[in-house]
Amino acid sequence: MQNFRRPNREESGVLIGILAIIFGGFVRLYPAGIAGFPINDGGLFVVMIEAIKSNGLKLPEYIQYNGLNTPFAYPPFAFYVGALLSNLFHLSPIEIVQWLPGIVSVGTIPAFYYLSRAILDSSYQAGLATLVFAFTPRTFTWTIMGGGLTRSFGLLFLLLSLGCIYRLFKGRDRKYLFASILFSALVVLSHPEAMVHTIVFALLFWLFIARNKQGIINALLLALGSIIVTSIWWLPTIIHLGLNPFLAAAQTGSQTTLSILYPFLLTLTDEPFLTLVAVLGLIGFFACLAKKNYFIPIWYFVPYLVDPRSAATYAMIPLCMMAGLALGEIILPIIARLANNSKPAGQNNPLQSLLAITFLVFAGIYMLGGTLDFGIQTAGSTLSEANRTAFDWIQANTRSGSRFLIMTGEGQILCDSVQEWFPALTDRVGITTIQGNEWLPDKKYAGAVTLQTGIQSCLDGPSPLGCIEKYNLQFDYIYVNRQGSLKNLCRVIAPVSRGDDLIHALEENNQYHLSYQSDAVTIFSNLH
């Protein structure tokens, strides 16, 4: 029998990366399984998939959603994948939106390893960084939700494109040019915010490693190739719809002069317990500065200068790399050296030390537990069965085109599943639903956000009905969702009961008539 050989430093990194993919994949798929329905959002995307299917897999110019004639200017790749899978496996679009985002999100883990392997130039460091990436909630917070159908593809192709672009610029090897063009084009065809970040990150790569003649040529070929490939979508879309939908969507970000302060707070990781990743990232940040490696620290800040709305997700890429460097170059070597009575023997491969391995296993299990807890809480932010039952009643008992004022009291507008799913499942109009306005002119999205934020605050106010009437809204029904929840982003912290004061006021007012009631939902018709 051959003697057992311990894996060397680089082999250990590969094994850590494989374990990260396996367990990180589980924590990304588990929430969809226990939710039983798409997590949080995705109603608009279900309508888009159905529109493509009903149009013979041709891209429609407009979709009907929430009483709006919305231009179909959204990058279509994810919707085509959803439509094709729906047809091929006889799955409903809702099932596609429930499971596909998490499945694609699993793919971001090996894609991150591919990128970090190139930048950190070590399988060992890449494996540790991938372990952190796999078990940090923010890396999948928004990609496993129903709306993650596009966000997950965007992040996946961003990681793959950057991995190829870095190798193209660093090694000047043209064999990476085709892959760089392909994955960059897929980013453009998947998600608008991912496209913006990919472009800026590629420019950052060029500034640090490819400011030479060949680098300029490769960058120009990459840009030209991506434009040509993606023209199969954007050119006919602009011809038929013009630039207005894109200009409108560009105004939905959240840029402020204070955005650059956010990365200093290190609250972006979404860790529910001890913020271990944030602390490791901070150590790695200063370790990079000490070695005069300014590339990754600068990269960490760049997303907040580009698009603060989605910056935290994309800033996690360099932050996880810095956290991996902190583990691999500082913490594990120190533990190994102390365990060997200050002898340097374990520093080349700290995982030769049992104590260093024990610490890494503990950290991995701790982060795994945190992400599982986070996933369970995120799964709670889904449309409840009680609301779906009420939606069925509305579809069967109200006339098409009826206008509903939906009162949930939810202050986090992107975490209000009732608002977005209402038009998709009832074919009625929710007058405070913001989705679908992104692509409309005259700042309709900003107006919808202001209305929803203001009107939902009425539910917990001292005079909810009087507060509502100040808005002079025209509606046929008031829909009150009594079973709400306290949320941190879209993570359910605790259930809450809302709306009793509003329901009592409606019962006392002869302008309104009770039409439907359950333990969770009460609907009044407006008689005037």
For residue 191, give the amino acid letter: H
pLDDT value of position 148: 95
For residue 42, give the amino acid letter: G
At residue 348 the predicted structure's pLDDT band, cuts being 50, 70 and 90, is: confident
Nearest to 142 by CA among 360, 341, 361, 316: 316
353-373 pLDDT per residue, tens: 899 999 999 999 999 999 999
Taking the C-alpha atoms of residue 7 and residue 432, their distance in angstroms, rounded to an integer, is 58
44-67 pLDDT per residue, tens: 999 999 999 999 999 999 999 999
Does residue 343 surpass a pLDDT of 70?
Answer: no
Taking the C-alpha atoms of residue 199 and residue 202, their distance in angstroms, rounded to an integer, is 5
Q: Give the residue carrying structure tokens 């949080």.
A: 40
Provide CB contacts within 8 A for 2, sequence distance 6+.
Answer: none
Q: How many angstroms separate the Cα of 373 from the Cα of each of 171, 266, 366?
A: 42, 20, 11
Share of the chain above pLDDT 70, in %: 95
Helices (H), 121-250: 123-134, 148-171, 175-188, 192-209, 213-241, 244-249
Measure CA 515 to chain center.
Answer: 37
For residue 70, give the amino acid letter: T
Measure CA 421 to chain center.
Answer: 18
Taking the C-alpha atoms of residue 66 and residue 396, their distance in angstroms, rounded to an integer, is 17
CA angle 191, 252, 104 (to 5 degrees): 25
435-490 pLDDT per residue, tens: 988 888 878 888 999 999 999 999 888 899 999 999 999 999 999 999 888 777 78
Does residue 345 surpass a pLDDT of 50?
Answer: no
pLDDT value of position 295: 96
64-94 pLDDT per residue, tens: 999 989 999 999 999 999 999 999 999 999 9
pLDDT value of position 340: 79
Taking the C-alpha atoms of residue 81 and residue 272, their distance in angstroms, rounded to an integer, is 33
Taking the C-alpha atoms of residue 194 and residue 215, their distance in angstroms, rounded to an integer, is 23
Q: According to the 3-state scheme, what is the secondary structure of 136-162?
A: CHHHCCCCCCCCHHHHHHHHHHHHHHH
Stretch (H or E) spanning 494:
strand 491-497
Phi (first) and psi of residue 437, to 5 degrees: -85, -10
Q: Give the residue carrying structure tokens 């009291």.
A: 409
pLDDT value of position 1: 43
Phi (first) and psi of residue 337, to 5 degrees: -65, -45
Taking the C-alpha atoms of residue 109 and residue 136, their distance in angstroms, rounded to an integer, is 11
Cβ distance 208 to 302 under 8 Å?
no
**Average pLDDT for residues 95-109, to the nearest whole number?**
97
Both ends of the chain: CA-CA distance in Å? Answer: 88
pLDDT value of position 146: 95
pLDDT value of position 346: 46
CA angle 130, 136, 140 (to 5 degrees): 95
Taking the C-alpha atoms of residue 235 and residue 37, their distance in angstroms, rounded to an integer, is 36
Question: Which has the minimum average pLDDT: 22-31, 221-230, 252-261, 420-429?
Answer: 252-261
Stretch (H or E) spanning 516:
strand 512-517
151-197 pLDDT per residue, tens: 999 999 999 999 999 999 998 677 899 999 999 999 999 999 999 99
Cβ distance 49 to 93 under 8 Å?
yes
Tokens describing residue 505: 């006021």
pLDDT value of position 173: 72
DSSP code at position 4: P
DSSP string for residues in 311-350: HHHHHHHHHHHHHHHHIIIIIHHHHHHHHTTT-GGGSSSG
C-alpha torsion 112→113→114→115, nearest 10: 50
Taking the C-alpha atoms of residue 239 and residue 288, their distance in angstroms, rounded to an integer, is 48
**Average pLDDT for residues 209-227, to the nearest whole number?**
94
Q: Give the residue carrying structure tokens 């961003």.
A: 158
Cβ distance 477 to 405 under 8 Å?
yes
Tokens describing residue 41: 């959002």
Q: Give the residue carrying structure tokens 């206008």.
A: 403
Provide the angle, in degrees to the nearest 10, between the axes of the packed helices 9-35 and 354-379: 20
In 3-state terms, what secondary structure has residue 167?
helix
Nearest to 521 by CA among 496, 503, 495: 503
> For 250, what's the count of Cα atoms within 13 Å in the CB-facing half-sphere?
8
Taking the C-alpha atoms of residue 426 and residue 448, their distance in angstroms, rounded to an integer, is 20
Instruction: Write down the mean pLDDT value for the chain.
Output: 91
Tokens describing residue 145: 């939700």
For residue 453, give the amino acid letter: T
